[in-house]
Amino acid sequence: MLKAAVILIGGPQKGTRFRPLSFEVPKPLFPVAGVPMIQHHIEACAQVPGMQEILLIGFYQPDEPLTQFLEAAQQEFNLPVRYLQEFAPLGTGGGLYHFRDQILAGSPEAFFVLNADVCSDFPLSAMLEAHRRQRHPFLLLGTTANRTQSLNYGCIVENPQTHEVLHYVEKPSTFISDIINCGIYLFSPEALKPLRDVFQRNQQDGQLEDSPGLWPGAGTIRLEQDVFSALAGQGQIYVHLTDGIWSQIKSAGSALYASRLYLSRYQDTHPERLAKHTPGGPWIRGNVYIHPTAKVAPSAVLGPNVSIGKGVTVGEGVRLRESIVLHGATLQEHTCVLHSIVGWGSTVGRWARVEGTPSDPNPNDPRARMDSESLFKDGKLLPAITILGCRVRIPAEVLILNSIVLPHKELSRSFTNQIIL
């Protein structure tokens, strides 16, 4: 029996590269391809035979958006979906150990662990089959990256015959391997024993002789450095390689790229979510998601890779490409929005142009991944997608290029390569 899947959603102290979008909604609930980021994870878990429960572990306060999402997910997937809040940020492994009794209730044969900030086709059934053929405490999903970009990820050296992980280094300083960690795992119950060992070692290392009781930092456990690196080569960790879609979602630019991947995948998994070109409707080019409550003028041209949220208004002659338009935004007549994210309740005036610079992987390199993006270099803002925060107002005939506009701003002129505070 597969008792549970665990999704690690982190907390508000994480996701700083996702600002200003994470100011308004927890990053795991940010819409990617029309649905909250972690809904893609839950959909994949719900399709695994024998799945009994889905647990979210993190340090977010259980506020109204998160509570509403959990209730809606339970109804849609007919599965218990529960949130377990950490008492402090506990790292990628600390929450698993802290809530071990709830994860292992019912004596499951194994449980999945998924990081929330990844985009994938989630080959969970294939991982489960591999685990049942050869049972080991840890099974990691791996994919490939080019030599340069592999340094930004956890790197895996495997035995090519047995797929045992012989060596693991998190973000090495020199090239180790082109196989990287996807942040998607299948653990046996025995996998929690090494986490217990790390907890006890942390307790011994951090506790002062004259301070009885638990040391508060003992619960912080890093799966990658404290467990995978330590146990590699001991016959406990194995890797399952995939050539399917995969990307991290660390920044707004990577969210836009993930939206493209998921929209393309909808052709096979959710064709009903993709808009179709119909007489009297907007012109659809490529993969486009339009929320049923959105109002789109028939002369608008949308796509490819466009996601339009709840209650959005798109005026006559609007051109939208490679963009996400969030709940309640308004694009007035003849606006042009390219490679951008338009925030909740924002307004873009008539004939205005909002444009960013794509930061996609090199299309000529099949192993290329999203670069580890930085907003600045040598004190200057690097070209990237344009982000309009919540309730931003862009006047008519204004150009916003490669800029980030913080929430609640009303602009009066054009900006290029600026952060507008």
Specify the CATH number for the domain of residue 391: 2.160.10.10
Q: Are strands 110-115 and 179-187 parallel, antiparallel or unpaired?
A: antiparallel
Q: Are residues 88 and 236 in the same domain?
A: yes
Q: For residue 377, is pLDDT > 80?
A: no
The answer to whether the peptide bond before residue 20 is cis (omega within 30 degrees of 0) is yes
Two tokens at 61?
Answer: 């306060």
Under the banding of pLDDT at 50, 70 and 90, the label for residue 210 is very low
d(CA 402, CA 219): 41
The whole domain housing 85 covers 2-248
For the residues 333-341, what does the mean pLDDT come to?
96
Whether 256 is in a domain gets the answer: no
Q: Are residues 134 and 18 in the same domain?
A: yes
For the residues 217-232, what does the mean pLDDT come to?
87
Confidence at residue 215, expressed as pLDDT on a 0 to 100 scale: 47
Q: Are residues 323 and 236 in the same domain?
A: no
Q: Are residues 228 and 290 in the same domain?
A: no
Q: Are residues 229 and 96 in the same domain?
A: yes
Q: For residue 212, is pLDDT > 60?
A: no
CA distances from 61 to 87, 136, 183, 338 (A): 10, 35, 24, 34
Which secondary structure element, helix H or strand E, spans residue 104, and what is its range? helix 100-104
Residue pair 375/387 in contact (Cβ under 8 Å)? The answer is: no
Q: Are residues 294 and 219 in the same domain?
A: no
Q: Are residues 243 and 321 in the same domain?
A: no
Confidence at residue 308, expressed as pLDDT on a 0 to 100 scale: 98
Q: Are residues 244 and 278 in the same domain?
A: no
User: DSSP per residue over 219-288, as a string?
Assistant: G---IIIIIIHHHTTTT-EEEEE--S-EEE--SHHHHHHHHHHHHHHHHHH-GGGS----TTS-EE-SSE
Q: Are residues 186 and 90 in the same domain?
A: yes
Choose one of 248, 283, 313: the last residue of a domain: 248
Whether 223 is in a domain gets the answer: yes
Q: Are residues 77 and 195 in the same domain?
A: yes
**268 phi, psi to nearest 5 deg:** -100, -35
Q: For residue 226, is pLDDT > 80?
A: yes
Whether 221 is in a domain gets the answer: yes
Whether 263 is in a domain gets the answer: no
Whether 30 is in a domain gets the answer: yes
Under the banding of pLDDT at 50, 70 and 90, the label for residue 183 is very high
Whether 267 is in a domain gets the answer: no
Q: Are residues 185 and 40 in the same domain?
A: yes
Q: For residue 173, is pLDDT > 90?
A: yes
For 285-313, b/e burial (b = at least 16 CB within 10 A) is: eebbbbbeebebeeebebbebbbbbebbb
Which secondary structure element, helix H or strand E, spans residue 120, and what is its range? strand 118-120
d(CA 298, CA 129): 48
Q: For residue 15, is pLDDT > 60?
A: no
CATH of the domain at 183: 3.90.550.10
Under the banding of pLDDT at 50, 70 and 90, the label for residue 365 is confident
Whether 299 is in a domain gets the answer: yes
Q: Are residues 285 and 237 in the same domain?
A: no
Confidence at residue 209, expressed as pLDDT on a 0 to 100 scale: 40
Could you give the number of structural domains in the chain? 2
Whether 332 is in a domain gets the answer: yes
Choose one of 207, 233, 248: the last residue of a domain: 248
pTM score, two decimals?
0.92
d(CA 373, CA 368): 14
Q: Amino acid identity of 356?
A: G
